[in-house]
Amino acid sequence: MKLILIRHGQSQYNVLRKINHSPHIKVSLTLQGEQEAKQAKQELENETWECMFVSELYRTQQTGAMINEGRSSPIIIDARINEYVNGYEGGSYDEYSSKTYLPEYAPHQGESYLEFQERLRSFLKELFEKEYETVNIITHFSVIKAIYLLLFPQSEPPQPKTGEIFHIELDKDSQPF
């Protein structure tokens, strides 16, 4: 199976260095984010995929719609690839990143990192069970890093930039879940 992982284009909150994990708060792409989505579409013009998954957050749906324009593959919204719910909705990224949390710590109205990994594991397991050849996944910084760590636990995960594309080839016979 081939995974095409793409971090959404730059959003308004990326510019403000604010955190958004609630799908109820509509955070849009900036003009730069739209350009990044168009660039990704161009880079993927010779690629095919059976379906595209996006999170419930608006910026991934905007990015996905732009990349998938003119294609017949369905776009599926899946909450399991939403951003990590760290309890800092609307807060400063700098403030959050300056703290250290244990993996089992769940903030008020948030989830622990272990719970976050479990929902991603569930998503990946379902992809394997459905035996897709290629899927396109438009998601978030922390989701891409966590997927890498789930699939390649001994590796150093990427630090995905907005609009950045990652290709992962997985052997169908060696399901990691």
Which tens digits make up the pLDDT trace of 120-165?
Answer: 999 999 999 998 999 999 999 999 999 999 999 999 999 999 999 9
Q: For all residues of the chain together, what is the average pLDDT?
A: 94
Q: Which residues contact 144 (CB under 8 A, 6 or more apart)?
A: 5, 7, 157, 158, 160, 166
Model confidence at 175, pLDDT cuts 50, 70, 90, reads low
Q: Give the DSSP per-residue string, 55-109.
A: -SSHHHHHHHHHHHTT--S-EEE-GGGSPP--S-TTSBHHHHHTS---TT---TT
Q: Note the pLDDT of residue 59.
A: 98
Q: Which residues contact 74 (CB under 8 A, 6 or more apart)?
A: 51, 52
What distance in Å separates the CA atoms of residue 130 and residue 3, rounded to the nearest whole number? 13
Domains of the chain: 2-169 (3.40.50.1240)
